[in-house]
Chain A
């Protein structure tokens, strides 16, 4: 079965969703990320969805679950690159992605993670 590659960038993991995925692939990604967060002792996860031309309730739920799961594993998730038409549609669908941090692109997502992690270290 296809898998999305998960790249390690220092303390962060980056996964780029490269194509329209079927539901089993979304579930596999969730499982892979959980393992990789622990194995890599990652502090943050960036999920780049700029290639996705829709986010329906299933994919939205997957993103929310990854965010919740990573938090339990002491890592923060940021979803980056959502297209404007996808955002408009998500809101009308009724999905507000509670608990999911978002940023415009990978660079901004990295900044957000860095700030978040530093703030936590100071506490």
Chain B
């Protein structure tokens, strides 16, 4: 499998979350994702980018183009140096929220992605990687 980074940006404010949505949309269009797949990936990206702002005071989003011939796809990496997640299984549960939201961000982003990986420990920050294949 080959990977190339196509975009990397800081996410600190709600405006940055909008910019992430637009950047992911553009890359998904460029790769030829159909409209439903674009929408799923952009929605997942919106949830995870907002988590960076709400839970970690900001972070970095990396957009990568991935090829595993003949498949092509997009991988998004959301990384922060925030407080980390104590109990990942609990955080992944529908309806569980520490920020007063609906608690669908993590679990929903996972359902909207083909691949989902989360690495986190208290005090160590969090890295969430999602991918969607065309």
Contact = CB atoms under 8 A, between A and B. Distances in A.
Contacts of B111: 92-94
Contacts of A57: 47, 101-102, 104-105, 108
A22 B18 contact: yes
A88 B18 contact: no
B50 interface: yes
A55 B47 CA distance: 10
Given A23-B50, A58-B46, A61-B102, 12 more contacts: A21-B18, A22-B14, A23-B17, A54-B21, A55-B43, A56-B43, A56-B50, A58-B101, A85-B35, A85-B38, A92-B111, A94-B107
Interface of B: 13-15, 17-18, 21-22, 25, 35-36, 38-40, 42-43, 46-47, 50, 94, 101-102, 104-105, 107-108, 111-112
The 7 closest A-B pairs by CB, nearest first: A93-B108, A22-B14, A85-B39, A23-B14, A56-B46, A57-B104, A89-B39
